[in-house]
Amino acid sequence: MLNIIRGSKFSYLLMPALFTFACLLLAPVVSAQEQNASTATAQAGVAQVKAVNSTEATGATLKPKWTDYRGITIGMSADEVRAKLGNLKEKGKVQDFFVFSDKETAQVFYDEQGKVNAISVNYLGDKSSVPDAVAVLGEAVEAKEDGSMYKLVRYADAGYWVAYSRTAGDSPLTTVTIQKML
């Protein structure tokens, strides 16, 4: 299968898309593992994960910064998404793939009723058009030594989580994902 993907003229888009899809499939598994071993992530130093409840020390309800992508929100119908976004590259019952440029793609995932349950956006390279962590999460994310970063924030009151991920290197891949909590 990798040979097919490598041979495609869109391989630079498909590999991140497959990675994102795998992450979305594993999110419920990771969530269950976190309940059993809440310190595993911190000990491994793999990612910063912050559970955001309806109230913290201040007693105020926290609102997510990143609530939509180009007007697409959790719960919209597939028809609404397709009409609003255009640029549809691949259409499916459970997932659509959109290409806006060679540096920006999006995947929209649907539940059994055809409603959006996750949005994942990939930005390649050119940092000028890529939202930073503060714009997405409302707070800075500390980069690792190699420049990569990852953070996931859960918004229980909103019913979804938002993740920000950036790879290392001069032309990083930045992925922003919003997914409905199950």
Answer whether 0.75 is exceeded by the pTM.
Answer: no
Question: pLDDT by residue for the chain (182 residues), tens digit each?
Answer: 444 444 444 444 444 554 454 444 444 444 444 444 333 333 334 444 444 443 443 445 678 899 999 999 999 999 999 999 988 999 999 999 999 999 999 999 999 999 999 999 999 987 778 999 999 999 999 999 999 999 999 999 999 999 999 999 989 999 999 999 98
Residue partners of 123: CB distance under 8 A and separation at least 6: 103, 104, 129, 130, 131, 173, 174, 175, 176
Separation between Cα atoms, residue 158 and residue 63, nearest integer Å = 7
Do the Cβ atoms of 67 and 169 come closer than 8 Å?
no
- Tell me the residue type at 148: S
For the chain, the residue count is: 182
